[in-house]
Amino acid sequence: GAVVSQHPSWVICKSGTSVKIECRSLDFQATTMFWYRQFPKQSLMLMATSNEGSKATYEQGVEKDKFLINHASLTLSTLTVTSAHPEDSSFYICSARGFLGYEQYFGPGTRLTVT
């Protein structure tokens, strides 16, 4: 149980284009989903927290107009990187938490490369 999927697993896009990453909780309902960014050999950097049906709460320094987050249902959240630039290249990971408990389950991550 507690499986979280992400799609795509990797994506290459050209500078200036937008990319959408999907995060799904497959066997539980996620009241809260989190989006992280991870640079090589570094820890997880929280970008934003989203609750189903509510606007996402962004961490300080994260541009909400650039990283659009939509938590449309209890099993789906999306992250759209708008007007991507090479500096947006990174490993993006989502996680989900259910109604009960503190447990947070992570997706497999999406490798974004902007050329």
Partner 1 sequence: GENVEQHPSTLSVQEGDSAVIKCTYSDSASNYFPWYKQELGKGPQLIIDIRSNVGEKKDQRIAVTLNKTAKHFSLHITETQPEDSAVYFCAATTSGGSYIPTFGRGTSLIVHP
Q: Does 54 bind partner 1 (CB under 8 A)?
A: no
Q: Does 7 bind partner 1 (CB under 8 A)?
A: no
Out of 43, 65, 86, 87, point to the residue binding partner 1 (CB under 8 A).
43
Instruction: State in angstroms the smallest separation of the CB of 4 from partner 1.
Output: 8
Nearest to 75 by CA among 96, 99, 106: 96
CA distance 2 to 84: 31
Out of 24, 37, 71, 97, point to the residue binding partner 1 (CB under 8 A).
97
1 within 8 A of 103, measured Cβ to Cβ: no
Out of 93, 96, 112, 114, point to the residue binding partner 1 (CB under 8 A).
93
What does DSSP say about strands 19-25 and 4-7: parallel, antiparallel, or unpaired?
antiparallel
Q: Does 49 bind partner 1 (CB under 8 A)?
A: yes
Which residue ranges make up the site for partner 1 (CB under 8 A)?
A: 2, 4, 6, 32, 34, 41-44, 46, 49, 57, 93, 95, 97, 102-109, 111
